[in-house]
Amino acid sequence: MASYFDEPSRTFNEYLLVPGYSSAECVPAAVDLSTPIVRFRKGEEPGLKANIPLVSAVMQAVSDDGMAIALAKEGGIAFIFGSQSIENQAAMVRRVKDHKAGFVRSDSNVRPDQTLADILVLKEKNGHSTVAVTEDGTAEGKIVGIVTSRDYRVSRTPPEAKVSEFMTPLKDLVYGEDGISLSEANDILWDHKLNQLPIIDKAGRLTYFVFRKDYDSHKRNPNELLDDQKRYIVGAGVNTRDYEERIPALVDEGVDVLVIDSSEGFTEWQARTLAFVRSRYGDSVKIGAGNVVDREGFRFLAEKGADFVKVGIGGGSICITREQKGIGRGQASAVMDVAAARNDYYKETGVYVPVCSDGGIVYDYHMTVALAMGADFMMLGRYFARFDESPTTRLVVNGSYVKEYWGEGSNRARNWQRYDLGGDGGQLSFEEGVDSYVPYAGPLKDGVSQTLAKVRSTMCSCGALSIRALQEKAKITLVSATSIVEGGAHDVILKEQQAVIR
């Protein structure tokens, strides 16, 4: 006979947190939302942590390089979608790693005998207004000057004008010597009121630029998530088909963490992918796996070397796997079961494997419930698809602003590698996702700030100043259908929202 679970499959909406004692120190500003992303041994620090427990889903409609930069500024991680060519995905990773760094290698370079037209082509291609002028036109060439937008006017400078005629020559440049610290470079920027500072070695070759805007960005985003070279942290999704080519390409571009993107993770295909990473890179490359919904699935992936395990099948707002295939589990039940398995594994082995809850989040408070139930962080699709920084177009539908949002299991995504379970592939046999709209929600920074304000406030109500403390102290209760109704506005006549003309 089939085996049966004793409890029904439950969702986050069926639970509430019961307040605990809050001391005077329990204020939202004191709450620490940092969380481990990858496995670590007892007594050691994880190799990668996030400053907030939010990562964006491996989806075409959610996670590109623009989303990765915006989310890293807030302290989270985006996993750039893998249902594209290896070259395109690697280029997105490269753009994220190049976007913010203390010392930036120049990717816009010309020779002095080139023209303004060449400068304008580079500016259009790379989006950078600072161009290095080197003897051979390479980033490592001997520098002879720089060109910024202040050195020419398109309306007055002819396109055939030689760069040497309007550039700022080396003799007029303020620059730093190779080996200078970032703090010293920033002091020079401010002392001389510069926007950029070339760093030059003893042979006169350009090695880096340091930009004022990077300093300003850090001050505006104190929670930003950076690597040891002051570059944004970025993740990427891979599949179990072309991983032997895709993973090396992403690693070469500096990706910080990978995840095997699949609707079902309890498979030999994921074991093979993890084995490839461990045999080629050891523990230096971080890779998560999933998705699973029970203890057995977690244990399988943890023992195969997954750095984190992703939980959830069929709970996403655009996912129809449950109704198409009849597999899955309520997200709350899945998270509780897997988190318990994670804790048992930690007690047995001394190795902590973080749990990522993927799907099932409808309201902001569901995030706090998921964390209390044992999730270390959450992967969100619909939530991030609503913001300006997602890669889809903002539209007006029926008088309201919306953004497009489609599942990786929809025909639109053409992502057969995620669902084919090792068959001949090439196309989807049937859809496991839908094509839809989500209400437009403005800038990511504003939305995430408001969401995390709610999470911090709820944690304070539970007497917890960290995610680990929340998991230890949380009191959780099941709710009935009538208590769900009681929890919203009821037995009143709501006033219509009308604009007031003054």
| Residues with catalytic function | 319, 418
Per the structure block, which two tokens stand in for 464?
Answer: 């917890």
Intra-chain end-to-end CA distance of the chain, in Å: 72
Q: How far apart are CA 378 and CA 52, in angstroms?
A: 10
Q: How far is CA 8 from CA 320, 367, 368, 482, in A?
A: 20, 21, 22, 18
The Cα–Cα gap between 104 and 98 comes to 7
- CB-based contacts of 96, cutoff 8 Å, min separation 6: 65, 68, 69, 72, 80, 231, 232, 234
Distance CA 245, CA 73 (A): 30
Question: What is the rounded distance in angstroms from the CA atom of residue 148 to the CA atom of residue 143?
Answer: 15
Q: What is the enclosing helix (H) or strand (E) of 453?
A: helix 444-461
The residue type at 435: D
Q: How far is CA 207 from CA 191, 198, 226, in A?
A: 22, 8, 21
Residue 437 token pair: 């709209």
Residue 483 has φ and ψ, to the nearest 5°, of -75, -25
3-class DSSP assignment, residue 310: strand
**Closest among 42, 26, 7 to 473, alpha carbons compared:** 26
| Alpha-carbon gap, residue 333 to 294, rounded angstroms | 9
Structure tokens at 417: 């590698």
List the one residue out of 333, 450, 323 whose CA is nearest residue 386. 450
Instruction: Return the structure tokens found at 356.
Output: 């990522």
For the record, the structure tokens of 227 come out as: 């690597």
| Alpha carbon distance 196, 203 (integer Å) | 21
Query: Is there a contact between 166 and 152 (Cβ–Cβ < 8 Å)?
Result: yes
Gap between the Cα atoms of 401 and 440, Å rounded: 5
Q: Which residue has the tokens 């102290």?
A: 473
